[in-house]
Amino acid sequence: PQGPARGPYREQAWRVPVPDAGGGPERLLEALLFRPPGEGAVPLVILSHGTPRRPEERAQMRPHWAERAAAFFVAEGYAVLA
């Protein structure tokens, strides 16, 4: 985690280490974790946005693109990683 959970969906920034398939250096994927109330284990939904082909479109991506979908799943008792 990259700081405390905030807001009604307990949103928290994470950096997820991922090994490079070609043997290169490990990469850190930035993700947002949304969680329902409580501390017990809950099912996890992973929302993948993909990557735009054009670099100028990638620069315009915002981290909160998944908040509406995450709110739905959190209300149903799921954690969401986006």
pLDDT in tens, 51-77: 777 878 877 776 677 888 999 999 999
pLDDT of residue 63: 64
Q: Which amino acid is at 15?
A: R
pLDDT in tens, 32-41: 999 999 999 9
Residue for token pair 């959190």: 74
Q: For 34, list phi and psi in degrees, rounded to 5.
A: -115, 135
Helix, strand, or coil here: 60?
A: coil
Residues 18-39, mean pLDDT to the nearest whole number = 90
Q: Give the span between the Cα atoms of 57 and 47, in whole angstroms.
A: 19
Cα angle vertex 1, ends 30, 27, to 5°? 35
- Is the pLDDT at 8 greater than 70, yes or no? yes
| Residue-averaged pLDDT of the chain | 88
What are the CA-CA distances from residue 14 to residues 4, 23, 38 (Å)?
10, 23, 19
